[in-house]
Amino acid sequence: MRSVADFYQDCIAAVDQQPPLDVQLADAVSCVLAEDVRAPFNLPVADLAACDGYAVRASDCSRAALDAPVTLPVTEEIRAGVVDPAALVPGTAIRIASGAPVPAGADAVVALEFTDHGVAEVGVRSAPAVGENIRRRAEDVAEGQVVLRSGARVGARQVALLAGVGRSRVLVHPRPRVVVLSIGDELVEPGRTARPGTVFDANGHALSTAITDAGAQTFRVAAVPDERAKLRETIEDQLVRADLVLTTGGISYGSGDTVREVLGSLGTVRFDNVAAWPGHILGVGTVGGEDGGTATPIFCLPGDPVSAQVCFEVFVRPALRHMQGWKSLNRPVVRAAVDRTWYSPRGRREFVRVRLAGDPRSGYQARVMGSPTALLLSALAESNALAVVPEDVTNVRAGDRLQCLVLD
């Protein structure tokens, strides 16, 4: 029997980071950078006005007050985008727009609300400090500075910075394409009429959602029956668009479970009894790769929806993050006191559905959702964490503090 730790390492080793790809900014969102990004110029490129107002010398307005404004002639107006603005003559003011270059000779910008908005001359009602309302050249980014490092996730804030330094394309680890296959004669699509002996395909939809949440692209295939020829054909057809194949169901020892036999002829997949609960039999390996082609990693999960979701969180999600270049692979962990007593299977690492409450100062409490031994979809839906019971613990008591994987 494989330990959870050993099978976890098998899953990480089965996948490689996605080769770096040069993409447009829009396609880089949610991806991880595969390069250090350096600024090709200063940002701002010059001293700029931080607001609409008047460029002045601070010394010319030193006596300005709300009830005793200082009046200065307005000699010019500078708009954003002007390249070579006129210099400021001492004792005058220049109307200036937010983002426009500060003229030579000016050392402050008086905001509009502290003036009378004059055109030919302006009444200044506040004494500005030197440098007030001026964004200094290179105060944001200096030319040659690394603004984003390899391994950073690209989101809206990072896109703003990349675009601000003129980058329209970046090198990233692209989102892996994951094909999800639910296997079983009994499966029907939600929304259709159920008949005796059938169940709705919860796994296909749930795992597709979990994969998308992990940052990958999902291609969900309609449920495949336990028919060897059909299953083989479906897997072979999907390899052309898959960086990873994820199957659920069909891996038990029953005569109708065909995944082992089919995958045995398509690649190298190892099925193990893993010391985990829920989740007992799991598979990992590769398919395809004949004639010198690239083999595609494949993970095989149980058919029970709760087991499949738990095993995805423990084993598959970290592998997906590894493929995307993440440095942190696992969910965050907190310690929490459980609210009840139960027996945990000897020699297995148990993952129990719980709902966390509390805070770092007062501590966290974990309310067990449903019976720990019952694989209830309703309990899974109400949980926001998985409490982890170590392999050597058999009796969990109310108040015991367990490590909990935070899901939400």
| The residue count for the chain | 408
Q: Which two tokens stand for residue 163?
A: 């675009």
Check residues 179 and 252 and name the one with the higher pLDDT: 179
Claim to verify: residue 258 and residue 307 sit in the same structural domain: yes
Q: Which of 330, 332, 301 is nearest to 317 (CA)?
A: 330
Claim to verify: residue 190 and residue 320 sit in the same structural domain: yes
* Residues 52/95, Cβ–Cβ less than 8 Å: no
Is the pLDDT score of 261 beyond 90?
A: no
User: Looking at residue 193, what is its pLDDT?
Assistant: 82
Domain CATH number, residue 150? 3.90.105.10
Domain CATH number, residue 237? 3.40.980.10
Claim to verify: residue 61 and residue 185 sit in the same structural domain: no
Claim to verify: residue 101 and residue 156 sit in the same structural domain: no
Claim to verify: residue 148 and residue 115 sit in the same structural domain: no
d(C-alpha 260, C-alpha 238), whole Å: 18
User: Looking at residue 379, what is its pLDDT?
Assistant: 95
Q: Which of 192, 132, 144 is nearest to 39 (CA)?
A: 144
Q: Which of 205, 212, 202, 208 is nearest to 377 (CA)?
A: 202
d(C-alpha 328, C-alpha 215), whole Å: 13
Domain CATH number, residue 71? 2.170.190.11
Claim to verify: residue 198 and residue 311 sit in the same structural domain: yes
Query: E strand or H helix at 6, and its extent?
Result: helix 4-13
Dihedral of CA atoms 98, 104, 108, 109 in degrees, nearest 10, equals -30
The strand ranges marked E within 189-319 are 199-200, 217-224, 244-248, 267-273, 276-277, 281-287, 296-301
User: For residue range 241-260, what is the model confidence (pLDDT) as tens digits?
Assistant: 999 999 999 887 765 568 88
Claim to verify: residue 156 and residue 31 sit in the same structural domain: yes
What amino acid is encoded at 378 in this protein?
Answer: S
Check residues 198 and 18 and name the one with the higher pLDDT: 18
Last residue of a domain, one of 173, 195, 220: 173
* Mean pLDDT, range 140-162, rounded to an integer: 96
User: For residue range 98-122, what is the model confidence (pLDDT) as tens digits?
Assistant: 999 999 999 999 999 999 999 999 9
Claim to verify: residue 63 and residue 158 sit in the same structural domain: no
User: Looking at residue 331, what is its pLDDT?
Assistant: 96
Dihedral of CA atoms 17, 19, 21, 26 in degrees, nearest 10, equals -20
DSSP string, 342-365: EE--TTSEEEEEEEEEEETTTEEE
Claim to verify: residue 356 and residue 249 sit in the same structural domain: no
The pTM assigned to this predicted structure is: 0.86
* Mean pLDDT, range 282-297, rounded to an integer: 86
Claim to verify: residue 153 and residue 37 sit in the same structural domain: yes
Q: Which two tokens stand for residue 16?
A: 């490689």
Average pLDDT, the chain: 94
- What sections of 150-274 are H helices per DSSP? 156-164, 202-213, 228-238, 259-266
Last residue of a domain, one of 70, 105, 135: 135
Range(s) of the domain holding residue 161: 21-43+143-173
Claim to verify: residue 153 and residue 62 sit in the same structural domain: no
d(C-alpha 4, C-alpha 197), whole Å: 33
Last residue of a domain, one of 324, 359, 390: 324
The radius of gyration of the chain from alpha carbons, rounded to an integer in Å, stands at 31
* Residues 247/259, Cβ–Cβ less than 8 Å: yes
Domain count, the chain: 4
Is the pLDDT score of 264 beyond 70?
A: yes
Q: Which two tokens stand for residue 70?
A: 């200082």
Claim to verify: residue 168 and residue 191 sit in the same structural domain: no
Lowest mean pLDDT, pick from 6-20, 193-207, 347-361: 193-207
